[in-house]
């Protein structure tokens, strides 16, 4: 049954500690104001207003953006719901407040108490005068009615809470957590084979972002490449890779617009857990990748460090052409050959073009540093070893100046300390720093493993897929 719309004077309480006050336009938790952006606040207000009823995505669009809007609002709604759940500490699998009705919309399921009615009870009691007999009797009757209503609401709330507790106690035990994950190569939906580099590079970047989450073991890009266009089932792939979850999806690039569609599968049971589409301008692709990675970590309930939460939360943009050149450079390094002189020159040119277009883009410098290290080690016919190391050092220093948390830059620095400076202690520290910043960054593990074997310390080599 639909409820009456919320009046502007009302404050509504739910979940014991929360109070939604439309007059003050604020959400409070245990008396303290909780920060919530305008769009999530408006959606929360609508859901609470229609509590108990299904609210369609179209209703949300009409309330928040207005009728006839032509924007792609799906991603905005998904992001707003996610922020509301974070503030309310609501689990989408076992929700206390917001229930997702797949393909239809959302429903606010928690009991709500009108604190305005409670306040009215206090006001009525305060203004009663003994000599005004009829007024006193009338007000007493109304007060008694309010008390009955309040008691009924509390009784219903307690009954519902008891029912939920009993229901949850009878539920099947929760599925085991996902501690390891593999990101399969994203499909290129553009229909243009020349855009394959873009889909592969976006896969690599998503792996790199997830690799920063210490609670997750992420399969390396070199291993994942073996499963491009595979006919194997997801459970088969999961058994071969020894992972709990698999991310698969697609990329569609059209001009300066990019869409990523991703879904998370509990691999052994082939159980669908989550799916989402993300649309961005190409210049916001960095933020898009962070959003996808953060959404996946939330679904697997991996714990994020405060530093990584802040890093994911920072809005980042880059010149679109610079980012395109950077992705091409990464594609040449990771997916073609890092020992071929012609390929390394293409990578170098791509990274240098990215730097010309956006001189403050730290990943382009770390990519260039890695390219020069490979040139010094594998392609000295193009440039002398000392000169390549010198240029690599310049690039890695600039990368770390722009972003002290660039884990890939520390990997390149470790290679320089080892191969150019013969500073074994500094090399080990740099590789360790790279791994600390990106615990599942496979290149750092591989480089450090080779370094430790070179130093005669194979027992310290950690196994990573």
| Helices 424-437, 442-454: inter-axial angle, 10-degree rounding | 160
End of a domain among 126, 152, 170?
170
pLDDT band at 157 (very low <50, low <70, confident <90, very high): low
End of a domain among 93, 110, 127?
110
Same domain for 298 and 329, yes or no, is: no
- Within 8 A by CB and 6+ apart from 58, the residues are none
The CATH number assigned to the domain holding 302 equals: 3.40.50.10610
**Number of domains into which the chain is organized:** 4
pLDDT for 287-305, tens place per residue? 777 788 888 887 777 666 6
Same domain for 215 and 245, yes or no, is: yes
pLDDT greater at residue 401 or residue 33? 401
Same domain for 130 and 196, yes or no, is: no
pLDDT of 7: 42
Same domain for 439 and 363, yes or no, is: yes
The CA distance from 198 to 186, in Å, is 10
End of a domain among 257, 286, 313?
313
Give whichever of 7-21, 72-86, 344-358, 444-458 has the largest mean pLDDT: 344-358
Same domain for 305 and 207, yes or no, is: yes
pLDDT of 42: 83
Domain contains 90: yes
pLDDT for 241-267, tens place per residue? 999 999 998 888 887 788 888 888 888
Same domain for 184 and 274, yes or no, is: yes
pTM of the complete model: 0.56
Give whichever of 58-72, 130-144, 185-199, 398-412 has the largest mean pLDDT: 398-412
Same domain for 208 and 248, yes or no, is: yes
The CA distance from 59 to 66, in Å, is 9
Domain contains 3: no
pLDDT for 390-401, tens place per residue? 999 999 999 999
pLDDT band at 444 (very low <50, low <70, confident <90, very high): confident
Residue 248 belongs to what H/E stretch? strand 245-254
Domain of residue 309, residue span: 180-313
pLDDT of 108: 92
CA-based torsion, 422, 423, 425, 427: positive or negative: negative
- Within 8 A by CB and 6+ apart from 303, the residues are 215
With H, G, I as helix, E, B as strand and everything else as coil, classify residue 303.
coil
Residue 29 pairs with which residues in a beta bridge? 18, 32
CA-based torsion, 200, 201, 207, 211: positive or negative: positive
Report which of 125, 113, 93 is spatially closest to residue 48, judged by C-alpha positions. 113
Residue 172 has a CB neighbour count (10 Å cut-off) of: 5
Long-range Cβ pairs for the range 172-175 (8 Å, 24+): 174/93, 175/266, 175/271
Please give the average per-residue pLDDT across 181-185, as a whole number.
92
Same domain for 353 and 383, yes or no, is: yes
Please give the average per-residue pLDDT across 264-289, as a whole number.
81
CA atoms within 13 A on the CB side of 211: 27
pLDDT of 465: 37
CA atoms within 13 A on the CB side of 170: 6
The CATH number assigned to the domain holding 324 equals: 1.25.40.10
Domain contains 38: yes
The CATH number assigned to the domain holding 57 equals: 1.10.10.10
CA atoms within 13 A on the CB side of 320: 11
């Amino acid at each position: 049954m639909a409820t009456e719309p919320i009046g502007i004077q009302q404050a509504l309480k739910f979940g014991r500690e929360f109070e939604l006050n439309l007059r003050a336009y604020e959400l409070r938790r245990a008396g303290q104001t909780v920060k919530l952006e305008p769009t999530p606040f408006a959606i929360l207000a609508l859901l609470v207003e229609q509590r108990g009823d299904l609210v369609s995505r179209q209703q949300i669009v009409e309330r928040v953006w207005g009728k006839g809007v032509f924007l792609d609002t799906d991603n905005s709604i998904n992001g707003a719901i996610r922020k509301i759940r974070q503030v309310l500490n609501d689990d989408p699998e076992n929700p206390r407040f917001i229930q997702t009705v797949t393909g239809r919309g959302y429903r606010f399921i928690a009991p709500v108490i009108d604190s305005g009615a409670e306040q009215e009870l206090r006001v009525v009691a305060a203004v009663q005068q003994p000599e005004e007999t009829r007024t006193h009797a009338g007000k007493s009757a109304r007060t008694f009615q309010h008390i009955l209503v309040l008691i009924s609401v509390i009784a219903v709330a307690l009954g519902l809470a008891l029912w939920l507790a009993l229901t949850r106690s009878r539920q099947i035990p929760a599925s085991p957590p996902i501690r390891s994950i593999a990101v399969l190569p994203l499909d290129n939906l553009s229909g243009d084979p020349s855009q394959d580099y873009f889909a592969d590079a976006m896969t690599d970047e998503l792996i790199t972002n997830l690799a920063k989450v210490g609670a997750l073991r992420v399969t390396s890009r070199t291993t994942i490449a073996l499963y491009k266009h595979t006919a194997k089932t997801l459970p088969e792939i999961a058994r071969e890779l020894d992972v709990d979850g698999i991310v698969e999806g697609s990329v569609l690039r059209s001009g300066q617009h990019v869409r990523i569609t991703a879904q998370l599968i509990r691999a052994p049971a082939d159980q669908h857990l989550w799916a989402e589409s993300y649309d961005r301008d190409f210049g916001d692709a960095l933020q898009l990748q962070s959003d996808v990675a953060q959404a996946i970590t939330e679904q697997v309930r991996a714990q994020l460090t405060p530093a990584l939460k802040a890093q994911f939360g920072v809005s980042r943009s880059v010149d679109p052409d610079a980012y395109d050149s950077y992705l091409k450079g990464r594609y040449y390094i990771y997916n073609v050959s890092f020992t071929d002189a012609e390929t390394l020159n293409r990578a170098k040119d791509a990274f240098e073009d990215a730097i010309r277009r956006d001189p403050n883009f730290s990943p382009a410098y770390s990519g260039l540093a890695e390219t020069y290290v490979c040139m010094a080690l594998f392609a000295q016919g193009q440039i002398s070893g000392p000169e390549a190391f010198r240029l690599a050092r310049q690039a890695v220093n600039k990368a770390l100046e722009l972003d002290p948390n660039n884990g890939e830059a520390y990997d390149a620095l470790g290679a320089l300390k080892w191969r150019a400076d013969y500073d074994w202690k500094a090399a080990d520290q740099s590789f360790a720093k790279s791994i600390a910043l990106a615990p599942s960054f496979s290149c750092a593990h591989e480089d450090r493993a080779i370094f430790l074997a070179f130093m005669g310390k194979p027992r310290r080599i950690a196994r990573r897929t």
